[in-house]
Amino acid sequence: MTRRVIVFDTTLRDGEQAPGNSLSVEEKVRLARQLEVLGVDVIEAGFPASSDTDFRSVQEIAAQVRRPVIAALARCTDRDIDLAGEAIRGAARSRIHVFLSTSDLHLKAKLRMTREEAVERIRESVRRAKSFTDDVEWSAEDASRTGLDFLCRCVEVAISEGATTINLPDTVGYATPEEYGAMFREVRRRVPAAAGVVLSAHCHDDLGLAVANSLAAISAGAGQVECTINGIGERAGNAALEEIVMAGRVRASQYAFDTGIESRELYRTSQMLSHLTGAFPQANKAIVGRNAFAHEAGIHQHGVLQNGLTYEIIEPDTVGIARSSLVLGRHSGRHALARRFQELGYDLEDEQLGGIYLAFLQLAERKRQILDEDLLALLHESFHDAPEEFQLRELRVVCGSGTATADVTLAGPYAGTRNASGTGDGPIAAAFAAVSEIVGKTIEVESLSLRSVTPGRDSVGQVFLQVRVDGRTFSAHSASTDIVEASARAMINALNKSRHAESLEAAALDSNSYWGV
Ligand code: KIV
Ligand code: ZN
């Protein structure tokens, strides 16, 4: 019989906490809305005690995303639990997720705590979390390297205090599928009360086994699986949601479980995350990679043309990859554009379509054929999560042989119209120097990556940037057929975000924000 497994998405917490994936509050809310459309059951929206941004993100998601359970992570401390409780207060359905390491290695080296102290801490923290919500998840961090007797004792205590979900993570990605499945079976056998709660799997991919381990746990009775879109997360990442879901669907007779995921939303969700973070999955990534459905070898192409099943175990549209039926160009009208977006799964509001159409026409002046990837770049470019205090009015660069000069004009309500020149050892550095001169701030570039959206000499270049302004990191992106212009625009987007963050913080201080009190 097919079991329904709960999908607990931790893209916004475990995924986002990995270096390079940081998102603004607005971006997290946008992604959370898409996760709701995707059909996840639980969204772990953040770790409120870790930063003001995380606190506000959880609060906003709780207020705006109403169908899934909204979970907030907390260590086993009063402050963490209280902040988590406060952040999820407005949710339609809320959960506090408390965790404590249980392996001897972590207890000794990290927490400097005895086993007895750990048991007491679990007891008190689950009890405290229960005072905020009935739905409490307790995690035994490093469960897979914890002695089974002690692990079972901790699980018993957490359940006796009212935990409704017990998560047994393979925190360091060390377990094998056989070991990980066996741990779930043993906990179920030795802890009779475990029959009344949901057991959960949470796997990291250090040995490339996260998905295999998650599937083994499900086969051993886990009722919840914790995972991230594209498998993003600490170090080698977490188990990839799309792989677990599609393994369950495609090999239903083998695994006998299903989820509430709408698989046609998988590609869209993956693309949204990639455009937000700049981290695109490798081309051969299962389900959502650029080449996941490409057939290069002639013998394969021939087979697929005769019958898709010869070399394709999943139809691309099952995961939301639309086969291109239309190539757009300079003469394409607004209707054709709207129709192609619809085929790609995006129903755009009139106003958004109008803005994208203008950008489309500008792009069509520079590029003969506009492909789906270009349209996605235009779409993701069209979201402005911060007011456009600065806008690029003009950019001129002169460069060659290791020196460059840029002349930049910015306009906008904050800057008025201002112009400055900058120099650098290349055109991008010179443009950045000019922007920095205009805004009067030192801007440190932490990372800049460039991606060609499609093949060909007239390709759109997408620039992803992380900059440090006034001691804080902001990420932003932009796209253009001219990569110097795309870099300057990305820099300006980052500055707009930093201005927006400043004004939000000032407003929060005025209203005496709970965080930090
Ligand atoms: O990997 C892990 O153990 C975690 C816990 C906080 C659940 O992410
Ligand atoms: Zn984790």
- Same structural domain, 164 and 233: yes
pLDDT of the residue at 318: 96
Residue 236 in tokens: 């080698």
d(CA 420, CA 406): 8
Does one domain contain both 184 and 204?
yes
**Are 14 and 51 members of one domain?**
yes
- Region 327-336: mean pLDDT is 90
With a Cβ cut-off of 6 Å, ligand 1 is lined by 14, 99, 139, 141, 167, 169, 171, 202, 204
Q: How far is the CA of 195 from the centre of ligand 1 (A)?
A: 23
Buried b (16+ CB within 10 A) or exposed e, 416-428: eebebebebeebb
Span from the CA of 139 to the centroid of ligand 1 (angstroms): 7
Nearest CA to 430 among 491, 366, 498?
491
Cβ neighbours of 119 (radius 10 Å) = 19
Pair 269, 139 in one domain = yes
State the Cα–Cα distance between residues 18 and 184, nearest whole angstrom.
27
Per-residue pLDDT, averaged over 155-165, amounts to 98
Alpha carbon nearest to ligand 1 atom 1, residue: 171
Long-range contacts of 315-324 (CB under 8 A, 24+ apart): 317/264, 318/249, 318/263, 318/264, 319/242, 319/246, 319/263, 319/264, 319/266, 319/267, 319/287, 319/288, 320/263, 320/264, 320/265, 320/266, 320/267, 320/268, 320/345, 321/267, 321/293, 322/372, 324/371, 324/372
**How many percent of the chain have pLDDT more than 70?**
96
Q: Other C-beta atoms within 10 Å of 438: how many?
A: 19
Which amino acid, 348?
L
Please report which confidence band the pLDDT of residue 515 belongs to, taking 50, 70 and 90 as the band edges: very low
Q: How many domains is the chain built from? A: 3
The average pLDDT across 421-438 equals: 96
Which of 333, 350, 381 represents a domain boundary (last residue)?
Answer: 381
Please state whether beta strands 403-412 and 416-424 pair in parallel, antiparallel, or not at all (unpaired): antiparallel
Q: Ligand 1, closest atom to CA 238?
A: 1
Q: Output the domain CATH number for residue 440.
A: 3.30.160.270
Tell me the H-state helices in 72-225: 78-87, 104-106, 115-130, 148-160, 177-190, 210-219
In terms of domains, do 363 and 398 share one?
A: no
Band of residue 84 on the pLDDT scale cut at 50, 70, 90 = very high
**Does residue 515 belong to any structural domain of this protein?**
no
Spatial separation of the C-alpha atoms in residues 217 and 189, rounded to whole Å:
14
- Of 14-23, 175-184, 206-215, 220-229, least confident by mean pLDDT is 14-23
Q: Is the pLDDT of residue 324 over 80?
A: no
Are residues 312 and 348 both part of a single domain?
A: yes
Q: What is the mean pLDDT of residues 335-357?
A: 92
Residues 102, 143: Cα–Cα separation, whole Å: 6
* pLDDT for res 414: 66
Q: Does some domain include residue 293?
A: no
Among candidate residues 277, 308, 340, the one where a domain is terminated: 277
Question: Tens of pLDDT along 104-144?
Answer: 999 999 999 999 999 999 999 999 999 999 999 999 999 99
Average pLDDT of the residues of the chain? 93
Domain that holds residue 493: 391-505
Task: Check which CATH number belongs to the domain holding 136 and give it.
Answer: 3.20.20.70
Residue 290 resides in a domain: no
pLDDT digits (tens, 9 = 90+) for 463-506: 999 999 988 899 999 999 999 999 999 999 999 999 888 887 78
Q: What pTM value is reported for the model? A: 0.92
Q: How far is CA 200 from CA 44, 105, 164, in A?
A: 14, 22, 11
Distance 361 CA to ligand 2 centre (A): 44
- Average pLDDT value for residue range 163-179: 98
Shared domain check, 491 and 449: yes
How many angstroms separate the alpha carbon of residue 204 from the centre of ligand 2? 6
Most confident segment among 6-20, 171-185, 379-393: 171-185
Query: What is the CA(141)–ligand 1 centre distance, in A?
Result: 6
- Asked if residues 445 and 432 have their Cβ atoms less than 8 Å apart, the reply is yes
Indicate the top mutation candidate among 8, 199, 202 to test ligand 1's pocket, ranked by most ligand atoms within 8 A of CB: 202
Where among 381, 415, 448 does a domain terminate? 381
Angle at 405 between CA 404 and CA 410, to 5 degrees: 135
Q: Give the pLDDT confidence score for residue 308 in this predicted structure.
A: 77
Instruction: Write the residue with the smallest CA distance to atom 5 of ligand 1.
Output: 141
In this structure, is the dihedral angle defined by the CA atoms of residues 487, 492, 496 and 499, taken in order, positive or negative?
Answer: positive
Averaged pLDDT for residues 78-89: 98
Distance of CA 507 to the CA centre of its chain: 27
In a domain, 260, yes or no: yes
CA atoms within 13 A on the CB side of 446: 15
Task: Report the separation in Å between the CA atom of 11 and the middle of ligand 1, taken as the mean of its atom positions.
Answer: 12
Best probe residue, ligand 1, of 9, 54, 101, 139 (max atoms within 8 Å of C-beta): 139
Model confidence at 199: pLDDT above 50: yes
Going by alpha carbons, the residue nearest to atom 2 of ligand 1 is: 171
For position 202, what pLDDT does the model report? 98
| Percentage above 90 pLDDT, the chain | 80
Provide the pLDDT confidence category of residue 167 given band limits of 50, 70 and 90. very high
Q: Flag whether 514 is in a domain.
A: no
Ligand 2 centroid to 169 CA: how many Å?
7
Q: What is the number of the ligand 1 atom nearest to the C-alpha of 226?
A: 7
